[in-house]
Amino acid sequence: MVSKVIAHDLRANPHLVMGLATGRTMERVYRWLVRSHREKKLDFSLCTTFNLDEYVGLPAEDRNSYRYYMNHHLFHKVNIDLRNTYLPDGMAADLEAECRRYEELIHRFNGIDLQLLGIGRDGHIGFNEPLSALRSRTRVKALMPTTLAQNAEFFGGPDRVPRRAITMGVGTVLEARRCLLLATGIQKAEIVARAVEGPITSMISATSLQLHPRCTVIVDEAAASRLSGTDYYRWVFDNEPEWQDYR
């Protein structure tokens, strides 16, 4: 479903500027996009990508860096021009200047058309940990212990996960013209319900998406299991013309 939306938007606008996320949830999306490229000639040659975040202190060649992840899962497997793929540089000598540069770059490309988002167990989008200001911009964030634990297996323990990352801000994300939030699995059910149906709070960055004029949340049955309005959401999906190509 997410991949279908991306493929649809990319076919409609080959110059699409995409905001990308990493993590386990996105792996399936990228596998599907790679398959669409190989089997249905989905063309990435003219698009531009901006990733949400990157760890501070990890070089691109490090297997745990998000540059490595993106190259491995998507960029090296499709016909994208690597020069059109941007991530914050977590190795920059001046991290604040790097954050400003990243924001300016996004502006130079006239903003992000389609932003892909996962959700952390603490409700983060990108690495906007609890109490991220709703208007925050790209900056360095200290990671929460829950996030260190969530990503520990890749590093061989929470103590080895970098403590800080550069992330687009909540305000940066909200300026994207369209957002897609994707969540799968029972361990996301509680936070998805709070993000979608709970009150807007900077304690859960994903609740800020309720302020976005065009945000779609895509969940599997398990991740949807704590939502209270499921019957209504199903009806909308099954009946509204906007979704007819996706049913």
Q: Does 19 bind ligand F6R (CB under 6 A)?
A: no
Instruction: Name residues contacting ligand F6R, limited to 43-62 (CB under 6 A).
Output: 52-53
CB of 241 to ligand F6R, least distance (A): 30
- Provide, rounded to whole angstroms, the least separation between the CB of residue 119 and ligand F6R: 6
Q: In sequence order, what DSSP letters do the residues of 15-75 get, joined into one string?
A: T-EEEE--SHHHHHHHHHHHHHHHHH----TT-EEEESEEETT--TTSTTSHHHHHHHHTG
Question: Which residue of the set 62, 89, 124, 220 is catalytic?
Answer: 124
Among 24, 63, 107, 135, binds ligand F6R (CB under 6 A): 24
- List the catalytic residue out of 37, 53, 73, 89: 53
State whether residue 117 is helix, strand or coil: strand
Give Dmax over CA atoms of the chain in angstroms.
53
43 given a catalytic annotation: no
The distance of closest approach from Cβ of residue 60 to ligand F6R in the complex, given in angstroms and rounded to an integer, is 15
Whether 94 is a known active-site residue: answer no
Q: Distance between CA 50 and CA 126 in Å, rounded?
A: 12
User: Is 34:4 a contact under the CB 8 Å cutoff?
Assistant: no
Q: Which amino acid makes up residue 88?
A: P
Task: Tell me the C-alpha to C-alpha distance, in Å, between residue 181 and each of 41, 66, 82, 97.
Answer: 25, 19, 25, 29
Binding range to ligand F6R, per CB under 6 A, among 75-83, 102-110, 117-125, 132-140: 117-125
Q: Provide, rounded to whole angstroms, the least separation between the CB of residue 201 and ligand F6R.
A: 17
238 sits in which H/E element: helix 230-239
Question: What string marks each residue from 66 to 85 as x (binds ligand F6R by CB under 6 A) or -?
Answer: --------------------
Structure tokens that stand for 42 in this block: 């989905």
Lay out the site mask for ligand F6R across 124-163 (x = CB under 6 A, - = otherwise): xxx-------------------------------------
Q: Which residues are catalytic?
A: 53, 122, 124, 129
Residues interacting with ligand F6R, by CB under 6 A? 21-25, 52-53, 118-120, 124-126
